[in-house]
Amino acid sequence: MGNFHRTGPVLLTGGLLAAGLLLSACERQPDSNAENQSPSANSTAAKANDWENPEIFQINKEPARATFYAYENRHLADKGTRENSRYFHSLNGEWKFNWVRKPGDRPMDFWKQGFDASNWGSIQVPSNWELQGHGIPHYVNIPYVFPADQPRIPHDYNPVGSYIKTLEIPDDWQDRQVFLHFGAVSSAMYLWVNGEKVGYSQGSKLPAEFNITRYVKPGDNKIAVEVYRWSDGSYLEDQDAWSLSGIDREVFAFSTPNTHIRDFTVTSDLDESYRNGDFALELDFAGSGSGTTPAELTVAVSDGDRVVFSESQTVEAGGDTRFQVAGEIEGVKPWSAETPDLYQLIIEARIGEDTQVIEQAIGFRNLKMENGQFLVNGVPVTIRGVNRHEHDPRTGKVLTRESMIRDIQLMKELNINAVRTSHYPNDPRWYELADQYGLYVLDEANIESHEYMEEGNKAARKDPSAREKYHLGYKPEWEAAHLARVANMVERDKNHPSVILWSLGNEAGIGPAFEKSSQWIRNNDPSRPVTYGGWGTVDGHSTLEYVDIYTPMYDFIPEMVDYAESNPGQPMIQAEYAHAMGNSIGNLQEYWDTIYHYPQLQGGFIWDWVDQTLFKTNAEGVEIMAYGGDFGESPRPDSDNFLANGVIQSDRTLNPHAWEIRKVYQPLKFEADKPQPLESGLEFTLWNRHDFLSADKFWIRWRLLENGRSIAEGAGPALETEAGEREKFQLRLPEYDRNPSAEYHLTIETLANEGTIPLLGRDHVVAWDQFQLHTPEQSAAAQQAKAKAKAKAKAKVSVKDGDHGLTVTGKNISVQFNKSNGQMVSYKIDGKELLIKGLTPNLWRAPIDNDAAWMLKDPTWKAATQEAQLVEFRHSADGSQSAVVNTLHQLGDQTAEFATEYRILGSGEIRVRAHFKPLKDGLPVLPRVGMNLVLKGEYKQLQWFGRGPHENYEDRKTGAAVGVYNAPVDSQYHDYSRPQETGNKTDVRWMSLTDGSGSGLRIEGEQLLSMSALPVLQSDLEHDRKSVRLHGAELRPKDLVSLNIDWKQMGVGGDNSWGARPLEKYQIPAASYSYGFRLIPQKSTVLAEHD
């Protein structure tokens, strides 16, 4: 046993728990004579239903407590499987079930003994009944699903589910206490046991526990539960998520001794040196009588097999008694998200003839605010976070442990270190896994009254006091409900080291209820800071005095800078930023350049982790990812696909922007102004942006690329850079024959050693950076091009000019133009047609979700692209070796002109020069400047030299390395929730499309190009979002290749999805632009010639 300093045990008796005191005003016992009528509230809302009375949110419910199970012996506790305990009985599985559309149609006496439910169906518990064929899911973002008329709920549409289950009570549960546990029920429930009303609960994301000892008997017992889809509690649950109902977390019964451990609170802090652990335990007993019972209590803390703390004491337990023990443990391993070192707490109580054993993983860590920063273990931490709704595409809010582990594994792979439980306490297993694998958790109370917040904020623009008329936090009858949700969350999750911050809720306005909730936390858990983003998304800074950290939403970078330079007393951690809706996450690098520049900007939580789409089979038998409105109309207008904002898709497939997050969030970075050859090698700097891990937990690998292909690789030096520090080092590359016409890149990676990152194996690539070493020497390149041109000059062309068309032919080629529209209509090599449609000007893109709020308001460039009129068509010969065709198109209503020059060589190569010129002032920014052509469907083998392998854009290419990549064209279409622009590649040097034999077309840029090759047309991607409900999976690959050859496409943006444009530097102003490229016929023997 390790050295430690101990303080003596303290026994407190007769005290009321803070949470119990808080809730006493709203607690009452059920009326046993009330039959099935909902009890009337003894309150200002007299005669109202409980589910329409904000002052009644629980009846006969047990006080909140930490998540734990007390086993009957140490052996079972070590195993940790509750199902092996004879005092645990799971009620998960099949229940008898009845569903009605409105409360007036519910079975009024189903809870009675003898009720015949033989004609009822069944339902799995846990589940959301809408996904089991009962009613439909609704998705409405800011407004409530139902008309806002708090606290009233519609009576003509408020589905009610009635559940029946038999609980078998063993004989050895007699003379003990028996409890029922409901992990989560949405949104309100009544409970009956054997025909007697037990109690009522609302609050859909925290447990409801009931003591049913006096209602049960040995043998079969009838459990009846009545669940209301909406209640007055729903006015506090206006989250941006599906409205789903039912018993959606686990249900179980358990039995305890009459005198038993009711709750415990662990404090596992660090001393000022951050080396020694300050351990304290408060243990609360409960008893069925007024007396006490001697209890032999042992408390131990172990590190693996080594006991580092132990205390034994005989105490008098019962009633409301609390036992306290504390001590110092020397030399502990601190817990952090990077170093999730856990200790095992063992609590063993022998109470008379009964034994209770609890085992709980604990972590020692210190949290504090200092100099306007948030510190973990004395270090200002960086929150590389994401918001996470609990969501599964098939089961809705019901998640498996395996799914949670998969989420954490993906987060680790993407360098995410923190999660905000938006916007409610998550399944308890999530916190256990976060403790184990290392994730910081911002735990958020299940409070959001978004519609009332919005209305109050609008009214306050004219009269600041008007906010009090709308925000529920100002209304006395709602105060206890707010406080209860906050307090119950804290009581449940208080023992988890992963929980480093509390949130009072989300977008629920302000008012005394929040101030009092914050004060309650500070009184009962002063170890953790409090946050709250109750203002929502507002202009300017909106700090709150009663919280510790400023957590705004969607602050633009200039706002962040302004805040950081104002000498703030609170650090900024954005509760939501980088709205990841559809094709998004532009300028994330700029966000993080700003964050790393200012000490009081400590990160943020991307919105959000997973697309909340649900699987649904459409009328054609295609399984789609459904969004709001796909299951039927809601009482108020559905919010379409605004819930598809994920880093990943609902089936856990990565959305392409996930790779940008992985790169920008990487905790190690290689730097060099410009690597210069030295006698000893190239010099770089490693910046270790970890908060705790040193660089010796990783190893370095480098790869040298010539024209995008690896020609050498090796291991770098072993570094020991401390967390937060920079270290210079040199790489010595092997000798290689440098090709003066080639381009060279060096990629440096850091890979994890075994055991460094939980869930990720050895050699996982944590970080990488790429450096351009040499660019082609233009003189050499020009000489090479000249030599090639001279060799090809022998191939001659002839021109045939007809009334309607122009044909240019050579030895093995034929190119035709339509003289009436100026379009190249045929391009044949060896008699084989390449084209479906020739090059046309393209200034538009299929709107991404971020475009919808602004770009669609002025579709000037869409019309310009669709309305191209030929103004001039002319051709000439450049000797006998090439023909030149010039076209000039007027676009739109004299909006712009687009001139194209085609220089056709006898080899079949076509050199294209394009010139765009606007003809009006005041034109909007351009989505793209480029051209589109459509190839025949056999040319679907894609290869390119540029950034990849995933799609990337001007403001989202940090995470895409330069290289040569191969992929099938069909894989280039990403099925976003709604079809939209996808598949782009930036900094493209060349791209080729070939068939199975290797013949096809190669495109080489005179400058870097922006390109994409898709199996669908741009017109397939675009649709009227107001009238057409199109889904990504509903587009099937066509027998074609739509090839975009652009000078540039504007960025995707992502500051928000309701009007924010890409940053100005990633926009394309309406101005004149020119660019060029070559179309080169490619045969299987030609590839090497053009590399």
Residues that are catalytic: 507, 576
- Indicate the angle between helix axes 588-597 and 557-564, nearest 10 degrees: 0
Residue among 199, 115, 131 nearest 395 (CA): 131
Instruction: Give the chain's largest Cα–Cα span.
Output: 112
Dihedral sign (CA 396, 399, 403, 405)? positive
Dihedral sign (CA 947, 950, 955, 961)? negative
* SS3 category, 80: coil
- Residue 586 φ/ψ region, left for φ over 0, alpha for ψ in the -120 to 50 degree band, beta for the rest: beta
Burial of 870 (0-12, 13-18, 19+ CB in 10 A): middle
Supply angle C-alpha 212, 218, 221, rounded to 5.
60
Phi, psi of 264 (to 5 degrees): -150, 150
Question: CA-to-CA distance for 470 and 451, rounded, in angstroms?
Answer: 9
* SS3 category, 458: helix
Phi, psi of 426 (to 5 degrees): -85, 175
* SS3 category, 1033: helix
Residue for token pair 């983003």: 533
Question: CA-to-CA distance for 845 and 1053, rounded, in angstroms?
Answer: 14
Other C-beta atoms within 10 Å of 429: how many?
17
Tokens of 869: 């009129």
In DSSP terms, 553 is beta-bridged to: 576
Cα 939 to chain centroid distance, Å, stands at 36
Residue among 691, 609, 622, 687 nearest 648 (CA): 609
CB distance 874 to 884 below 8 Å: no
CA torsion 263-503-500-418 (nearest 10°) is 130
CB distance 321 to 260 below 8 Å: no
Tokens of 2: 């390790």
In DSSP terms, 346 is beta-bridged to: 300, 359
Question: CA-to-CA distance for 529 and 521, rounded, in angstroms?
Answer: 9
Phi, psi of 120 (to 5 degrees): -75, 155
Question: CA-to-CA distance for 700 and 750, rounded, in angstroms?
Answer: 5
Question: CA-to-CA distance for 412 and 1026, rounded, in angstroms?
Answer: 38
Phi, psi of 495 (to 5 degrees): -95, 10
* SS3 category, 250: coil
Helix, strand, coil percent content, the chain, rounded in steps of 5: 15, 40, 45
Which runs of consecutive H residues, i.e. helices, occur in 49-170? 74-79
Question: CA-to-CA distance for 203 and 481, rounded, in angstroms?
Answer: 9
Question: CA-to-CA distance for 575 and 551, rounded, in angstroms?
Answer: 5
* SS3 category, 329: strand
Tokens of 1044: 């975009």
CB distance 158 to 256 below 8 Å: no
| Cα separations in angstroms, 77 against 70, 88, 962 | 8, 13, 53
Question: CA-to-CA distance for 723 and 336, rounded, in angstroms?
Answer: 13
Beta strands (DSSP E) in 14-72 are: 58-59
CB distance 1013 to 972 below 8 Å: yes
